[in-house]
Structure 1
Amino acid sequence: MDPERKIPYPYQIVPYCIRFFGLSSNLLVNNEKHVIHGISITFETLRRENITSQQLYLLSASIDVVERYQAFLESSHSSLSTQVFNNCSKPWFGEYCQYSFNLTWSFDKIVRNYFSDIKLQAGNSFTAETCYTFIECNRGPSPSCLDWREICDGKIDCLNDGRDEIDCEKLDLNECEEDEFRCSNGFCIPKELFNDDPLTPDCIDRSDEKYDQKESSNFDHRLSKICKRGILIYVNNFTENYCLCPPAYFGYRCEYQNQRVSLVLQFRTVEWRTVFTFVIMLVDENTNIHSSEQYDYVSLRDCRKKFNFYLLYSTQPKYVNQTYYVRIDIYNKEKMEYYDTMFYPIRYSFLPVHRLALLVDVPIRDVATVSKKCLLKCLHGQCRYFSNFDKYFCQCLNGYSGMLCTIKNSCDCSPDSIYVGIVNNRSICICPLDKFGPRCYLKRTGCISNLCSNSSRCIANDETYSETEYYCLCSQGYMGSRCENPETKIEFLFAKTISIPQTMFIYFIYIPSISKSYSSPPADPPQIIMVSKLKFYESSSFVYFGGEFHIIFVKIHQHYYLALLRHNSTLGINISTTIIPEHRCLSIKDLFTDNIPILPRWHRAKHYHIPCQKHSNLVCFYDNDFFMCLCDIDRNANCFKFDYRPLYKCFGYNYCENDGQCHIDNSTCPTSSSCFCKECYYGSRCQFTTTGFGLSLDDILGYNIWPNIPFSRQPKVATLDGGGGWGTRTVIDTTIPGISIFV
C-alpha cells in the first residue's frame, strides 16, 4: 500500500478453484470412509460441547460447513445432526482435509511468488503456456496455439481460414457517445475513467492510461512448470497434485483460457450515508443466471474505488447465438428492501473476453421508483423496469426463477435475508447488516463492542476484503475513524441591510502550501460547494464541514460575498461570521468602464491590480470566466481559479419539481444534494408554490415540520395552533411578501 496514493486501490477478490470442465466433483474429494488428515466430529457432538459457529469459523472450517452447523443450531433439525466437521491437522485443509500447499514454502511466499509472475507477464508478448481452444485454429506446429488477445487484433493468425478475425469489423465500426472514450480496440469507456489512474487501466488493451510495462521480478519459475497460471496444491497423501486456477483459466494445469466478461465498476450515489448491496449477475436471454458477485457499498467509505472481477459463463464454450447481459440489482441493506435494477448488454458475442467498464450512477430513490405500466405477467414475482434501459423483467419471489417466475427451486437463504435468484443450484442471498455468509446464517462480530462515538452508527465490514472489522458512519458534526473528532461548525449571520436568502451557496477554498523549490507551478486551490436552504422563520444558517479550508465565499441573491478569511485551517472549532455589504465581491464589469472586460482572459488579467488600488474599500472581485481575486493589505490582487458553475447534474437524474435544478456538492464524491428552485417555488423538491390561490397552511408548514422530533420541540411556526384550541385566530407573519395566513 502506498500511503501517498490519493486514489483508492481497486477492490478485487480472485477466487482460485480447481476448474476441470467435465470432471465429476466426486473425484476431487477423499472417498475413503474416514478422514486421514484430521478428526471427524458430528454436529450433535459439537453442540453438546457448546461449540459455536463462530469458533468453527475461526478454525478455518469451510464456510458451507459453518453455515450448515449454524442452521442446525437454530433449528435442531435431526437430518443435520449426523453431518460432520472435519478438524484438519496442519498443513491440510479443505472440507475433507484433502489438500495441502508446498510444505517447504510459507503461504505468503507462494502468493507473492505467483503474483510476481502475473506482473511480469502483464503486457508482455504472448507465449504458448496457455491457449484459447474454443476456436479451431491452425497456428502451425505444436506447441503453437491461439491466445485470446490475438482475436480481432487486425492480423490473421489462424492459417486455415483466418477465423480469428471473423466479425471483427463490427468493432472497427463501433462509435462511442460524446461522453465516452474510444479504446484502441473499439470498446467504449466513460470519459471520467480516461487517464484517471495509471495503475488501473479501464480499456482491456490499456490504451486509456500511460502504462509502464517494465517490471522487475524475482519469480521462481519452478512452479510455472507445473501450473501454467495457477497455484500448486497437493492432494491426499502427496501422491497427486492439482492447480488452483483463477477465473480466467481452467484445466488440470490452468493451461486453457476461459470465455468471460471482465468488469470494472465504479459507483456513484448522492445517498452518501446509505449502505447499499450491489448484486452483479451475468444473465442470458432466458434469464438464467450464469455467475454473480455482490458487494456492500457506502459512498463515504468507498467513493472512487473501482471494483474489478470476472463473470463466467456456466457453459464453456458459451452459446454464440444466445444474447447475454449484465444485470445489477441494488438493495438498501439497512432497510432490507429492493432499490433498483440496471441493464448492460453484452454486444459482441464473438469475442472470448468482453470488457465492460461502467460508471454506475445510482438514481435518487424518488426517481428510481417512478411507476410504469408493466407488460409482463409474473406468476410468482413482481414486474420491474430497468432504470437505464427500456425493458421489463420479472423479479421472482423466494424459490422461483425463470422469465415469468414459473420455475420452482429450493431457497436455502436464512429467514431474515432476501432471495435474489439461483446460480449453479445455489441461492443468491442478501444478508442483513449483522449477518454474512452465502446463506446469511453467520453473525458479524465487528460491531458488538460498538467503538463508534457520538451516537454514530457502526457498520460491520465485509470480512473478505476490509482492512478493519467495522466502519463508523458519523453523526452530523463529527468525523474520524471512530467519529471522535468534531467537525468545524460555521454559523452565517446576515447584516440588517441584506435580505435573508432562501438558498445560499457556500464555497470552501483550501490554499495548498507552495513548494520552496518552485519546480512546478502551484496547484489550483481545491474547492467544495455546499448548499444551505433557510426556512422562512430562520434568520441565520449553519453548516458542518469536515475538511480544511482558508477562505469561504457565499453566493446569495446572485451576488458573491467574502464570508471568512483565515491563515490557519484549524479543524473542529465553532465559527460565527456575518455577511455584510462591505464584503461583496464586485464583477469586473462593474469595475472597468472601458473595453478591458472583453479582452481575452490572460490579457485582462494584467489589469487586475487596478481595482484594488483604485477602490480602497474593495475586498474582492471576480471574473465570471475564470478568476476570483482578493485585495491584500498592500492593495495587490491575489487571484486564483474559481469554479462558478454549480453542479446541476445529480448524475443525470433530476428529482426536483417545477423545473428546479438538482445540485450536488461534488461531482466525484458528493455528500449532499438539494434542489435550487425557480422564483416563487420552494420546498425540499421545489414542490410548493406561492403563485395564484389555494396556498394551504399544510403546504407551508409541511416544509418546516422536523421529522422524528416531538411536537413540543417543533419550530414555533408549526406549534402556534397547539394550545389555542378550535376557534383561535392567530396571524403568522411569513417572509412571503404580501401574504398573511390566518389560522
Structure 2
Amino acid sequence: QSEICNSGLHIYHRLGIDKYSSLCFCPPNYYGDQCQYQNQRVSLSLTLVTVEQPIAYVIVVMLIEDDNNRQEIHSYHQFTYVPLEHCGQPVNLYLLYSKRRKDNSKNYSILIDAFNKDSLTYLMSWHLMIPFVFLPVNRISAFLTLPISRTFDPKHCPLQCYKGTCMKYHNEERFFCQCYSGWSGAQCHIPIDCSMCASNSICIGSIRNRSICVCPNEKFGSFCRLQLVCPIGFCKNNGRCIVTDERMIDESYMCFCSEQFFGPRCENVKHRMDISLENIEIPLYLLAYIYTRISFERSPPRFVILRKMTMFQTSVTLYSEALFQMVIVKIDNRYYLAVLRKFESSNIVTSISPAQRCVPIHELLPAKLLSLPRIQRLKSYHIPCQHDFNLQCFVDESYMCLCTEEHHSNCFPLDYQQTFACEENVYCENGGTCLQDRPMCFYSILCVCNDCFFGDRCQFYAKGIGLTLDDLFRYEIRPHSTLNDQSLTVKLSAASTIIIFLIGLLNSFFGYLVFHNRNCRKVASGIYLRLSSIISTLVVSMLIIRFWFVTYTYMNPLINRKILQIGCLLFEPMLRFFLHMSNWLNTCVGIDRAMAVFQG
C-alpha cells in the first residue's frame, strides 16, 4: 500500500511462520519508518550537450562545503553520458547533506567534473553556488556544453597547487586546483586513501572513508573492480562498442557507427549521394538541405548536412538514414537544386552547375512587382516559370519555389536568414566561426577558419611553415572508417608511399654497398655519399611511419591525446631533420666536386 510509505516502496519482511514486519524503502528525498519526513537536499536538473558525438563522458556531481580548505564532500553522483543516446535529456539528481540538520552558517556549492571515459582525461569543471542556504530544499538547473579537450592554459593561473593543476571554472571567472589522483583539498594538499580504487581508475576524493573512483571503459562498480565487456561481434560493420549502463543487462551496450552505417548495432547501410561541382568555384563549405518528402501545404520535413571543402575538392559524398526526394545545396548564399524526384530514391550520383541555381526573385520580377507587399507579390510568382522554361527554382526572403512541368510555381517555406551559428563556440579555436546543423543534438559541425589558420577546428597556424602530411590529408581521410572505405586519393597515396619506400630502400642499400668499398671513400665525396645512403634509408622509413601514423589517427579520432602529442613532437621533426641532413650531404658532395674541378 503506497499510502503507508508516502511515495516509498512498501515491503513485508518475514520473521518466521506467519510473522511479518512492515518496512518502507524510501526515495532519497524522504526518510523515516514510513518515509514521512523530507530530507534537506539540493534538487539538481542538468541538461548536457556536446560538440563531439561519438564519445562517452563521465560526469561527477558533488555537493561540497566552500568554507574551508578541506572542501568536504557531503554527497555525490556519478553517471555516464553518451551524446548519441542522451543528448538534450535532462538528468535529475538529489544531493543530500551529510547531516540531517545542515549547518546554515556554512556555504555550500555544487562541483561538476567532466572526464573523457575512453582515456579518463579530465576536461572541465563547473561551479554552481547554492544561493539560499537557509531553505530546506534548493532547486537548481543548469545547461552545460561539454568540450572535447581542455580549453584553458594553466600558465595564467595565480593559485599554488601542491599536487594538482591550476584551472578555471568554465562558468565563472574563478580559479581552482584540479587535484591529481589521490589528493584533495582546495590546494591539493590533503592525501586521501585510494587503496579501494582499482589500479587503472582515477581517485578524485573520499566520502565517509570510502574512495570516489572514476572507472575506465569496461569497468564498473563503486571501486571499478567489476568488469563488463562488450560481446564479440556485437557491433557490425566495424562499429565501436561501449558499455553505457551496467545496471541494464539487456541494454548495457551501445555502438558508435561509421558515417556509412546506422542502427543499434550498425547493421543498416545509409543511403548515399555523390554530388560533383561543375563550373562552380570551390567554396569553404556547403550546406545540403535533404527533404524526405515534398509537401507544399506546410513546411516539408528536412534535415541539414554541413560539409567542409578542401582546396581542390570538386565532389562531396553525403549519407542519410532516410531516402532522398529533394536535395538543395547552398553555396555562399546561393541555392542549387541538386535532386528532385517524384519518388524517394537512394544511392544517387548527380552534379550541380550554374544552370541549376535557384535565382533570387529580385532578378526575375520587375521593380514594380517587387515593391508590392509580399502577400500581393506572391500572386505573380508564376510569371518567372512561364517566361523561362529552363528555370527550375527561385527564392525570396521566405520561400523556395519550384517550377512544375506545367510552368507553374509551387512554393514552400525556407528560412533564408538562418545562419547555423553555434550558440556557444567550444569547438573552434583561434577565432574560427562555428557552424552546426541544429542548435542541439546536431549531426554535423564545422569550423570556418580565419586567414593563416587551418584544421578541422582551426587549431593549426600555417604562417611561416611548410606543408606537412597533416595539411595534405586531413580533409581527405574519413574518420571512423577503414582503409577500404577511404577515398581514392588516400588509397593511391598509400600505394605510392609503399612504392617510394621500397624503391628508396633498394636505392639506399645499393648505394651503401657501392661506397662501402674503401677505394670509393678515398675522397670526401665517397664519405658523403655513403652517409647520404644511410640518411636516405632513415628518410623513407620516417616517411612511411609518418604517413601511416597520420592515416591511422585521422581514421580513429578517439585515440589517446598523449599518443598524438608524442607523434607530433617526434615524427615530423625527425622527418624534417633527416631531409635537411640529406640535402646538406648532397650539397657537400657538390662543393667537393666543384673544388676538385677547380683545382684540376
TM-score by length of 2: 0.74
Q: 1:347 aligns with which of 118, 127, 131?
A: 131
Q: Does 1:243 align with 2:31?
A: no
CA contact under 8 A between 1:263 and 1:308: conserved in structure 2? yes
CA 1:585 to 1:408, structure 2 compared with 1: closer, same or farther past 3 Å? Answer: same
CA contact under 8 A between 1:656 and 1:662: conserved in structure 2? no
Residue 6 of structure 2: aligned partner: 228
CA contact under 8 A between 1:270 and 1:671: conserved in structure 2? no
Task: Return the offset for 1:593.
Answer: 2.4
CA contact under 8 A between 1:269 and 1:670: conserved in structure 2? no
Q: Secondary structure at the match of 2:342?
A: coil
CA contact under 8 A between 1:492 and 1:578: conserved in structure 2? yes
Whole-angstrom distance in 2 between the partners of 1:313 and 1:614: 76
Task: Return the offset for 1:494.
Answer: 1.9
Residue 294 of structure 1: aligned partner: 78
CA 1:484 to 1:441, structure 2 compared with 1: closer, same or farther past 3 Å? Answer: same
Whole-angstrom distance in 1 between the partners of 2:45 and 2:214: 22
Whole-angstrom distance in 1 between the partners of 2:6 and 2:184: 38
Whole-angstrom distance in 2 between the partners of 1:279 and 1:583: 52
Task: Return the offset for 1:585.
Answer: 0.3
Whole-angstrom distance in 1 between the partners of 2:199 and 2:21: 42
Q: Does 1:591 align with 2:364?
A: yes
CA contact under 8 A between 2:51 and 2:427: conserved in structure 1? no
Whole-angstrom distance in 1 between the partners of 2:182 and 2:302: 50
Whole-angstrom distance in 2 between the partners of 1:257 and 1:510: 51
Whole-angstrom distance in 1 between the partners of 2:159 and 2:192: 21
Residue 198 of structure 1: aligned partner: none
Residue 539 of structure 1: aligned partner: 314
Note the 1:385-400 alignment, pairs <5 A.
385-400=168-183
* Identity across matched positions, percent: 37
Task: Return the offset for 1:703.
Answer: 4.7
Q: Which runs of 5+ in 1 are unaligned?
A: 1-221, 515-521, 729-742
Whole-angstrom distance in 1 between the partners of 2:490 and 2:410: 51
Q: Does 1:697 align with 2:467?
A: yes
CA 1:512 to 1:629, structure 2 compared with 1: closer, same or farther past 3 Å? Answer: closer
Task: For residues 384-440 of structure 1, give each alpha carbon's deviation from its aligned partner in whole angstroms, at most 9, with x where no partner exists.
Answer: 221221112222233332222233332211111121222233222121221111111
Whole-angstrom distance in 2 between the partners of 1:456 and 1:246: 38
CA contact under 8 A between 1:502 and 1:533: conserved in structure 2? yes
Q: 1:261 aligns with which of 24, 39, 42?
A: 42
Q: Does 1:670 align with 2:452?
A: no
Q: 2:351 aligns with which of 578, 590, 603?
A: 578
Superposition CA RMSD, Å: 3.3
Residue 468 of structure 1: aligned partner: 251
Q: 1:636 aligns with which of 408, 418, 428?
A: 408
Task: For residues 661-688 of structure 1, give each alpha carbon's deviation from its aligned partner in whole angstroms, at most 9, with x where no partner exists.
Answer: 1111221211222112457865434467
Residue 418 of structure 1: aligned partner: 202
Q: 1:661 aligns with which of 413, 428, 433?
A: 433
Letter of the aligned partner of 1:578 in structure 2?
S
Whole-angstrom distance in 1 between the partners of 2:369 and 2:146: 45
Whole-angstrom distance in 1 between the partners of 2:61 and 2:274: 44
Q: 2:65 aligns with which of 257, 264, 284?
A: 284
Residue 384 of structure 2: aligned partner: 611
CA contact under 8 A between 1:705 and 1:718: conserved in structure 2? no
Q: Secondary structure at the match of 1:550?
A: strand
Letter of the aligned partner of 1:300 in structure 2?
L
Residue 335 of structure 2: aligned partner: 560
Task: Return the offset for 1:317.
Answer: 2.0
Note the 1:81-92 alignment, pairs <5 A.
none
Task: For residues 500-540 of structure 1, give each alpha carbon's deviation from its aligned partner in whole angstroms, at most 9, with x where no partner exists.
Answer: 334222221233779xxxxxxx5522332222223234332
CA 1:435 to 1:654, structure 2 compared with 1: closer, same or farther past 3 Å? Answer: closer
CA contact under 8 A between 2:282 and 2:312: conserved in structure 1? no
Whole-angstrom distance in 1 between the partners of 2:52 and 2:362: 40
CA 1:318 to 1:523, structure 2 compared with 1: closer, same or farther past 3 Å? Answer: farther
Q: Does 1:331 align with 2:115?
A: yes
CA contact under 8 A between 1:270 and 1:664: conserved in structure 2? no
Task: Return the offset for 1:276.
Answer: 0.9
Q: Secondary structure at the match of 1:365?
A: coil
Whole-angstrom distance in 2 between the partners of 1:688 and 1:448: 39
Task: Return the offset for 1:562.
Answer: 0.5
CA contact under 8 A between 1:270 and 1:650: conserved in structure 2? no
Q: 1:409 aligns with which of 155, 177, 192?
A: 192
Corresponding pairs, count: 491
Task: Return the offset for 1:345.
Answer: 1.5
Residue 76 of structure 1: aligned partner: none
Letter of the aligned partner of 2:382 in structure 1?
H
CA 1:603 to 1:364, structure 2 compared with 1: closer, same or farther past 3 Å? Answer: farther
Q: Secondary structure at the match of 1:319?
A: coil
Residue 499 of structure 1: aligned partner: 281
Whole-angstrom distance in 2 between the partners of 1:382 and 1:677: 31
Whole-angstrom distance in 1 between the partners of 2:427 and 2:237: 34
Task: Return the offset for 1:622.
Answer: 0.9
Whole-angstrom distance in 2 between the partners of 1:611 and 1:642: 19
Whole-angstrom distance in 1 between the partners of 2:181 and 2:450: 46
Whole-angstrom distance in 2 between the partners of 1:687 and 1:378: 29
Residue 530 of structure 1: aligned partner: 305
Whole-angstrom distance in 1 between the partners of 2:82 and 2:277: 36
CA contact under 8 A between 1:704 and 1:718: conserved in structure 2? no
Letter of the aligned partner of 2:351 in structure 1?
T
Task: Return the offset for 1:554.
Answer: 1.0
Q: Which runs of 5+ in 2 are unaligned?
A: 508-531, 537-582, 584-600
Task: For residues 589-641 of structure 1, give each alpha carbon's deviation from its aligned partner in whole angstroms, at most 9, with x where no partner exists.
Answer: 11122144454443433332222222221111111x32111112222222112
